[in-house]
Structure 1
Amino acid sequence: MSVAARIKFRHLQCFLEVVRLKSVSKAATLLGITQPAVSKTIRELEDALEVSLLDRSKRGIQTTAFGDVFLRYAGASVTALRQGVDSIAQVRAKGGAAVVIGALPTVSSHVVPCAVLNFKAAATGTVVRVVTGDNAVLLAQLRVGEVDLVVGRLADPEQMKGLAFEPLYAERVAFVVRPGHPLIGRTPFRLADVLDHTILLPSPGSIIRPLVDRLLIANGIGAVPDPIETVSLPFGRAYVRASDAVWIISRGVVADDIAEGVLAELPVDTDMTRGPVGLTTRADTPPSLPQLMLMQAIRAAAAEPAP
């Protein structure tokens, strides 16, 4: 068993009270246990650490050099634990608190629904509000506190000032069509063949639009003639299923549709569009307990295999 595993809360509590009161007897009275029990607990702690923490002399009880160092961390640990307990008690007592998530389309169909489902199972009484929009709008709302956290692709550096980003996974774009599309199974498949059909491109303000433009240019495709620009899943899904259009979109937006056979993915190498998806929060504002719990649920959902 490791040293840390051998140290219990009672060890820290006894040590802190003996140091604060400079007396084993007073600490025993305060803790409601016997003096021998306090002395035994301190010995167990010192044995686990293999150092002497307290100097017991005629001048009373003083901390050793090791005790001074340990005191800082023991106090911080107990304080953090008490704050955690108090935070949970406050959430359980008040209820009705709200957490507002800004969700980009890439996480709206899988990660965020799974995370919210697991979070609500904890029965914290917290109201979860999910808002969508383009990245610039959601980050602006995050800065002024209208949104508590944003889940989606990493924004450009100039948009991230004052914000913190935690990467969760990497994602690329996909070229998707309806089942039975003329391009499915075509041999050889050439990317230029998509120009024979209507192209649905990401909106100009979206994070992935510059990545898609670079991908097309790298494959010898310049301006796309007469495109439709959208990141809307309902519109894109309906339009593609009703036509021979080709939709270029973040794969996370359509991953469930691909897995269920509602849409099909063309064999296009899009690795150059791969980029991080994660949590964006305000760098200067510590998250509340409900926010921390929801963030953990999002991490767990993001770690699950994609469809």
Structure 2
Amino acid sequence: MKHNIRHLRIFLAVSNLASISKAARDCGLSQPAVTQAINKIEAELDAALFDRTPQGVFATALGRLHAERIGRALSLIDEAFASVAPRLRVTATASQLEALIAVRETGNFTLAARRLGIAQPTVHRAVSQLEKEAVRPLFERTSTGIVATRAGQLLASAARLMDAELMQADMEIAEALGRETGRIVVGAMPLSRAYLLPKVIARFRQAWPRLPLRILDGPYDEMISGLRNGEVDFLIGALRDPAPIGDIEQTPLFDDTLAIVAGPAHPLVGRSSIGVGDLLDYPWAVAAAGTPTRKHFEDMFTGTGHTVPDRIVETASHILIRELLLNSDHLGCVSALQAEAEIEAGRIARIDFELPDTARAIGITTRRGWKPTASQATLIDLVSNYRPSL
């Protein structure tokens, strides 16, 4: 967290009041101190954020853009400060909040110090200072380590989101000046990784050739947690019904259905009139419990009075499923769109068994109220306008 919170408040005051002297009085500082803070922010961004005139100091178009994003960032942490201890609005520093986040996420002062590259006593002192000003503990020791209290969780989560908003603030200025800095982090579920994202990223690169993209995979719960903490910008893949929590937004794009697939030499390939009983004779490769695909898979058996097969390999890896089908008599229950290219290439085959009522909404998941930068908006638009070729 490289930003100086005090300087950001000064910047916002100058932007709102259009006056160095008024901002100085509002912040309880000298005019030279305010001027120095503004100059430092402009130097860091290498951008002119204000026009200095005899009538006042007025935010440029870039300045207004930055002020809106800074206002969003500070409102996140200020709401948490108000709930925990209003005095923290004046006393808390970025380095203290950074230490708080690291200790909350590692559950250990030594590991937090190692992550931040500073001495352990420095981390402990930063958290202790926050606790002193808050007049309440932010962590408690348990048999498994150090766990954040409710106040500590609230502050750390808000600080994480503030930091994400500030990173977007820097990206916005850079993008407005024709630079490509920062990065976009996308949580990608299996279908999007195999079917949608390769095509979308190729088109995105035409507009943003150098901007780093990080595509994450992993369990849905971990990616949702990253999204809510500001570590992930948005998710692409199967939507949940109902949404798992109220602070996210789900935007459906198109529907996908499921298909049963096997290796080309599987005994069921080419057969017709296949029943559920025939499917019980073989082992399966399926998605993990709790996913929409797994629920449809289990319903296929329980809905006809059968027991769900117990010879199961749980995986989200399309490559693993493909190789397992090629080298054994396993069956797979997978996304029809995800399997399309493999079926056309002859690497796997579709079993002639209908799976009614298996439509799943595929879409984008974001934090509620999230505002994308220009590059993020470009990627979102490309995803939103993508339509399957079926």
Secondary structure, aligned partner of 2:249: strand
Matches within 5 A, 1:103-182: 103-123=188-208, 125-182=210-267
| Structure 1 position 178, deviation (Å) | 0.7
Contact 1:200 1:236 in 2 (8 A): yes
- Which residue, 254, 260, 269 being the options, matches 2:354? 269
Q: How has the CA–CA distance of structure 1 residues 211 and 188 changed in structure 2, closer, same or farther, with 3 Å as cutoff?
A: closer
State the partner residue of 1:247: 332
| Structure 1 position 144, deviation (Å) | 0.5
Secondary structure, aligned partner of 1:189: coil
Q: Distance in 2 between matches of 1:213 and 1:140?
A: 27
Secondary structure, aligned partner of 2:202: helix
Structure 1 gap segments, 5+ residues each: 1-78
Q: Distance in 1 between matches of 2:287 and 2:353?
A: 17
Greater RCO (Cα-Cα under 8 Å, separation 6 or more): 1
1:93-148 CA distances to partner (integer Å, 9 max, x unpaired)? 33122111100001111201111110011135321110011211111110001110
Q: Distance in 1 between matches of 2:173 and 2:207?
A: 12
Partner amino acid, structure 1, of 2:191: T
Q: Distance in 2 between matches of 1:107 and 1:92?
A: 31
Partner amino acid, structure 1, of 2:260: F
> Is 1:223 matched up with 2:308?
yes
Q: How has the CA–CA distance of structure 1 residues 192 and 297 changed in structure 2, closer, same or farther, with 3 Å as cutoff?
A: same
* Normalised TM-score (structure 1): 0.67
1:196-248 CA distances to partner (integer Å, 9 max, x unpaired)? 11122221142321222112212332121322222211211111100111111
Q: Distance in 2 between matches of 1:228 and 1:89?
A: 46
Partner amino acid, structure 2, of 1:303: R
* Normalised TM-score (structure 2): 0.53
Secondary structure, aligned partner of 1:221: coil
State the partner residue of 2:365: 280
Q: Distance in 2 between matches of 1:279 and 1:152?
A: 7
Number of residue pairs matched by the alignment: 223
Q: Distance in 2 between matches of 1:169 and 1:88?
A: 34
State the partner residue of 1:212: 297
Q: Distance in 1 between matches of 2:240 and 2:265?
A: 36
% identical aligned pairs: 25
State the partner residue of 1:98: 183
Q: How has the CA–CA distance of structure 1 residues 239 and 91 changed in structure 2, closer, same or farther, with 3 Å as cutoff?
A: farther
State the partner residue of 2:387: 303
Secondary structure, aligned partner of 1:193: helix
Secondary structure, aligned partner of 2:316: coil
Please provide the CA RMSD for this pair: 2.3
Partner amino acid, structure 2, of 1:99: I
Q: Distance in 1 between matches of 2:273 and 2:242?
A: 40
Greater mean deviation of Cα atoms: 110-119 or 125-134: 125-134
Contact 1:148 1:281 in 2 (8 A): yes
Partner amino acid, structure 2, of 1:105: P
Q: Distance in 1 between matches of 2:365 and 2:357?
A: 23
Contact 2:181 2:211 in 1 (8 A): yes
Structure 2 gap segments, 5+ residues each: 1-63, 69-170
Partner amino acid, structure 1, of 2:339: V
Contact 2:191 2:337 in 1 (8 A): yes
Contact 2:272 2:352 in 1 (8 A): no
Q: How has the CA–CA distance of structure 1 residues 289 and 177 changed in structure 2, closer, same or farther, with 3 Å as cutoff?
A: same
State the partner residue of 2:72: none
| Structure 1 position 88, deviation (Å) | 8.3
Q: Distance in 2 between matches of 1:281 and 1:161?
A: 11
| Structure 1 position 89, deviation (Å) | 6.9
Q: Distance in 1 between matches of 2:238 and 2:245?
A: 12
Q: Distance in 1 between matches of 2:309 and 2:233?
A: 37
